[in-house]
Amino acid sequence: MSSNEKESGGGRAAAKLYASMPGASARMAAAACGNLFGMIRVTEVFAPVLAAKAQSAIINALSIVSWKASPGLTPYSIAKAAAWSYTNHARMTLAAQNTQVVGLHVGFVDTDLAAGVDVPKIDPLVVAGRSYDVLEEGGFEVLADEGTAKVKASLSSERPAYAFQG
C-alpha cells in the first residue's frame, strides 16, 4: 500500500467497495481483458502496419457508459472509461505517423448481442455511416446516437449525466 493510500485509508475503502460488489475484481479483470487490453494490443500490432501507409485510421469502439455509470455494467463501464482515455492517448501518439484515431461512442446497437434488452437501439448501418462521415471529415469522435450525444453534452454542465441516475 502506498503512503497516500495509508494516509487516506485507501486500503479500507477499497476493501469496503469490493465487499459491496461480490466478484467485482474478477468481473473487472474479464471486462478489462476484452474492452481495454484487447484494444491496446490490436493498436500495438497494427500501428507499424498503418505507419507504412500515407493515411490510415483506427476506430475504437467505446460506449455511452464511458461517461455514465449504469447499474449492472460497472466493470464494463470502468473498462470503457479507461479505453476512452487510451484512445485519446493513442490519437496523440499516432498522429505523428498520420494515423487518425477515432473514438466511437454509442449506446445500444440493434444487434444479436442486444436482442434481449428492451431499450431503444440504433441501427448498426447508421453507426457505420456516422463513423465513416467522421473519418472523412478528419474528426476524432463519433457520437452515434442521441442519448450518447446528450450525455457527452452534459459532462461540463451543472448537473452532469454521469453524476445522477435517470
Give the integer Cα–Cα distance in Å for 134 and 130.
6
Give the integer Cα–Cα distance in Å for 8 and 130.
45
Query: Could you tell me which of 131, 135, 62, 127 has the C-alpha nearest to residue 100?
Result: 135
Q: What's the chain's average pLDDT?
A: 85
pLDDT of residue 162: 80
- Ramachandran angles phi, psi of 70, nearest 5°: -140, 125
Which domains, from first to last, does the chain contain? 31-163 (3.40.50.720)
Write out residues in the chain with pLDDT < 50, as ranges: 1-11, 14-15, 18
pLDDT of residue 132: 97
* Chain segment 84-104, per-residue pLDDT in tens: 999 999 999 999 999 999 999
pLDDT of residue 32: 79
pLDDT of residue 111: 86
Give the integer Cα–Cα distance in Å for 105 and 151.
10
